[in-house]
Amino acid sequence: MVQRNDRASWITGGRVRCSDPPRTAPPKPFRFVLLGAPGVGKGTQADLIGDHFRVCHLSTGDVFRAAKQLSADGNASPNLVKALEYMRKGELVPDEIVLELIRERSRCMTCCGGFILDGFPRTVAQAEALSELLKEKGVSLTAVLNYQLPEERLVARLSGRRVCPDCRAVFHISGHPPRKEGVCDHCGGSLYQREDDSPESIRVRMQQYEANTGPLIRYYSHRGQLITIEAEGSPEEIFQRTRDALRQYLPANQ
Ligand code: AMP
């Protein structure tokens, strides 16, 4: 498994600095947004893209999941405690809470290594706020990647998903099972099912996605930034499609 940056600036926010910031910056850092319904495999693609193009995978879901521990220790802000309630039910966290969290992490937007945003923006209001923030910082998005898969395939992927809490590896009980049931192949962590991968939460998340993402896709499509990618097949096949779709942005050797 690839050794990843600790993303401390992103996960913790505020003044916290990453332990291993990028030392050499490409002349034009990649700044991607990833869109796609829950279960489409965005997180896996974000990691593959991140490893290949050396950009940091910034997931808002990861920030909220990390906040769970803070909350258990009684150290989470009232806003984070509120956000976790929405998350538990599979509902979207209100825009103002998400945007505050993003503003606290705005340093990541100008990181010379670039970024892949996964799970943000999720609404047009969030996309407009991101656009303002990037304009303020004098940077722009490279492209918005939109992964697509039929709904019944999404539900099957989500309900069988198992995640390692330690190294974040993702398995599937039938599609990509671990060698030993319930144990991470990479680090031996105890695999778990995300709370929001329960059948009830999955249903709510799908409805919310449908309601919010249609307008978001139109928003980026009108701006000529949207690239749509079929998410059928293995992670490697989907990644190959992603690289093909991004060819116009890449130097010849990538
Ligand atoms: P994810 O890992 O991206 O599926 O996010 C998990 C959960 O975190 C979502 O179901 C939401 O409850 C919450 N969440 C993450 N990102 C956002 C966002 N940009 N806007 C609203 N809620 C979010």
What are the pLDDT digits (tens) for 56-115? 889 999 888 888 877 777 777 788 888 899 988 878 899 999 999 999 898 898 888 899
CA distance 174 to 215: 34
Of all helices (H) and strands (E), which one includes residue 210? helix 199-222
Say if ligand 1 is within 6 A of residue 197 CB. no
Catalytic residue, chosen from 122, 157, 162, 168, is 122
248 or 241: which leads in pLDDT: 241
**61 CA distance to ligand 1 middle (Å):** 5
Task: Tell me whether strands 56-59 and 115-118 are parallel, antiparallel or unpaired.
Answer: parallel
Task: Give the residue-averaged pLDDT of 45-51.
Answer: 90
Please say if 42 is a catalytic residue.
yes
Q: Which CATH architecture has domain 8-149+226-253?
A: 3-Layer(aba) Sandwich (3.40)
User: How large is the average pLDDT for residues 200-214?
Assistant: 87
Max mean pLDDT range (49-53, 67-71, 146-150, 171-175): 146-150
pLDDT confidence bin for 121, thresholds 50/70/90: very high
pLDDT band at 254 (very low <50, low <70, confident <90, very high): low
d(CA 87, ligand 1 centre) in Å: 7
